[in-house]
């Protein structure tokens, strides 16, 4: 069963997500609290820490993009968000999240792969965006950080969700999310779309999040229309692959999805196999080594 955004209502998603929050990474919360306690907190350091965590970044973007601030354009830069909100507001929001985010050791272990992969893919997406001259690398970063936010939400809702996720990556079906649809009548891309909407992210990012596992039909044709949305999607798919998401989250030795779209994505971005190897080398220099994760 193929499920599009319109196949699941916003009310259904709200019911699934009722009472569920994406917890921030404990170590980042500690680092933020230490920085806040300094006599002269460093705004750049605080912005950097927040930009490493989907929960914190998403919450602040929701606030700054709300009707209260009535900004003319949606904000995706975390540094800009911290500057607009001001230190006092940021501290209050972070402390409020900290109070609600007590995690057990087991929960922390389960979410580690999500946190690590989100950060890696955000960094790689920015790198690729700059290499292909995409004009808004902050958008590419935000997309990489938030594209899988549906995963921890569904983990909190369904006890065996990780098994369904692994089943999707292991399957040769057309889309990773088809297995989730069959088992749950829902999937992390759709849930992520509604979560991104609730955070007031730009519409284009919400749409790419919804479609990020539905790119096979597009990129396998080789005649994709060049526009901002398709460029972001291509950057994300390449970032997922070279960051080893199929190993980290999917725990697979083969990236079935990438094998179906590799030629189309590289052609669309104007890259070749040599560029791909250069990116992998750059990843290693950035301290991102997917092979270290291996499979289970």
- The verdict on 70 and 172 lying in the same domain is no
Note whether residue 68 is domain-resident: yes
Domain that holds residue 180: 105-290
Concatenating the DSSP letter of every residue in 67-90 gives TTT--SS----HHHHHHHH-HHHH
Give me the tens of pLDDT residue by residue for the chain, a chain 296 residues long.
334 444 445 565 556 555 556 666 666 766 776 777 677 888 898 899 888 888 788 888 888 887 767 788 888 899 998 888 887 777 767 765 654 454 566 666 777 778 778 878 988 998 899 999 999 888 898 899 889 988 888 887 888 888 999 999 998 767 899 999 999 888 999 988 988 887 778 899 999 999 999 988 788 766 778 899 999 999 999 999 999 999 988 889 999 999 989 999 999 999 998 888 888 887 777 677 665 544 44
Residue 86's pLDDT is 82
Residue pLDDT, tens place only, 92-119: 677 656 544 545 666 667 777 787 788 7
Let me know: does 115 contact 148? Beta carbons within 8 Å. no
- The verdict on 109 and 240 lying in the same domain is yes
The single-letter DSSP state of residue 224 is: -
CATH number of the domain residue 137 falls in: 1.10.3210.10
Residue 103's pLDDT is 52
- The verdict on 267 and 284 lying in the same domain is yes
CA distances from 144 to 63, 123, 243, 258 (A): 20, 8, 11, 16
Answer with the one of 59, 78, 99 that is the final residue of a domain: 99
- The verdict on 86 and 117 lying in the same domain is no
> Token pair of 225, please?
């229309």
Note whether residue 276 is domain-resident: yes
Is residue 287 packed enough to be buried (19+ CB in 10 Å), middle (13-18) or exposed (0-12)? exposed
Residue 95's pLDDT is 60
Let me know: does 12 contact 77? Beta carbons within 8 Å. no
Residue pLDDT, tens place only, 15-49: 655 555 666 666 676 677 677 767 788 889 889 98
Answer with the one of 41, 73, 99 that is the final residue of a domain: 99
- The verdict on 148 and 59 lying in the same domain is no
- The verdict on 216 and 261 lying in the same domain is yes
pTM for this one? 0.74
| Count of structural domains, the chain | 2
Answer with the one of 75, 99, 123 that is the final residue of a domain: 99
The single-letter DSSP state of residue 73 is: S
């Amino acid at each position: 069963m193929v499920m599009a955004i319109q196949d699941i209502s916003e009310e259904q998603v709200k019911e699934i997500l009722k009472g569920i929050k994406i917890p921030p990474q404990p170590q980042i919360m500690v680092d933020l609290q230490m920085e806040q306690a300094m006599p002269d907190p460093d705004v750049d350091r605080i912005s950097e820490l927040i930009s490493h965590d989907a929960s914190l970044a998403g919450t602040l973007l929701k606030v700054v993009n709300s009707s209260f601030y009535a900004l003319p354009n949606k904000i995706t830069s975390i540094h800009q968000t911290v500057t607009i909100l001001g230190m006092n507001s940021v501290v209050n929001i972070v402390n409020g999240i900290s109070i609600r985010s007590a995690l057990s050791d087991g929960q922390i272990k389960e979410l580690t792969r999500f946190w690590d992969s989100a950060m890696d893919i955000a960094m790689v997406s920015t790198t690729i965006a700059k290499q292909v001259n995409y004009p808004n690398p902050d958008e590419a970063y935000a997309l990489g950080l938030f594209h899988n936010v549906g995963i921890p939400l569904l983990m909190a809702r369904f006890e065996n969700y990780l098994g369904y996720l692994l089943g999707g990556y292991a399957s040769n079906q057309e889309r990773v999310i088809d297995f989730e649809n069959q088992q749950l009548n829902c999937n992390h891309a759709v849930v992520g779309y509604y979560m991104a909407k609730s955070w007031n992210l730009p519409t284009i990012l919400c749409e790419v999040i919804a479609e990020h596992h539905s790119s096979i039909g597009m990129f396998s044709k080789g005649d994709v229309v060049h526009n901002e949305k398709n460029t972001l999607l291509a950057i994300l798919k390449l970032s997922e692959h070279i960051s080893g998401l199929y190993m980290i989250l999917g725990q697979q030795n083969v990236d079935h999805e990438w094998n179906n779209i590799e030629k189309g994505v590289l052609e669309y971005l104007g890259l070749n196999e040599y560029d791909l190897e250069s990116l992998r080398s750059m990843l290693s220099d950035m301290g991102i080594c997917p092979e270290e994760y291996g499979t289970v």
